[in-house]
Structure 1
């Protein structure tokens, strides 16, 4: 937990200005969507979305693509470190540039500061 906090606080994992949102959407579909997709009308089980849906109980969206409160640092820490049943993704599987693209896709709808 200290390692996660250290990365978030130091801001080591900032998103590159050259990130490609379109490529990020494709990579999200390849690496993330299988666990973090929206729950459909039948409330099918998704390994990443279902626990978040239970945790948030409608107070915020469970599907990552519907969130507007995820910071680039937060996303990168969980991708690199994993949590619970979520595996870690090494740089040999998902490069920093690819992760930057996924982050750009996920934060694209957030209000600018």
Structure 2
């Protein structure tokens, strides 16, 4: 009887630890969900356009090798200029690390001017 109770308890705890069929987003998916709208190249991407207006280099985040993880993590957690901070309930530290790795290793998209030519 005790063995049956222990097995039942273990099965119940195992079922509670993760949802069956749950799909966890990877770095690429989280980048698309949380970052691409502002940080991809070209018109219509606020962060890219803001840097262009300030006369700064405006490469897309994808493929950048010069980003430091601690800096990226700090900006994601604290926000910067118009970028809001992201809570750990929105993007966990491991998810930020996955986004960082994706940014460093993904192929940069075709570059478009950040601002329309006048």
Structures share fold, TM-score greater than 0.5: yes
Q: Which TM class, normalised by the smaller chain length?
A: 0.5 to 0.7
Secondary structure, in 3 states, of the residue corresponding to 2:62? helix
Distance 1:66 1:107, change over 3 A: closer
Map of 2:27 onto structure 1:
24
Post-superposition offset of 1:66: 4.1
**Structure-1-length-normalised TM-score:** 0.64
Structure 1 gap ranges (5+): 1-21
Q: Distance in 2 between matches of 1:66 and 1:107?
A: 5
**Which portions of structure 1, spanning 4 or more consecutive aligned residues, are displaced by more than 2 angstroms?**
53-57
Secondary structure, in 3 states, of the residue corresponding to 1:38? coil
Q: Distance in 1 between matches of 2:55 and 2:73?
A: 21
Match of 1:90 among 87, 92, 110: 87
**Structure-2-length-normalised TM-score:** 0.61
Aligned length: 82
Tell which structure's C-alpha radius of gyration is larger. 2
Distance 1:90 1:75, change over 3 A: same
Q: Distance in 2 between matches of 1:37 and 1:82?
A: 18
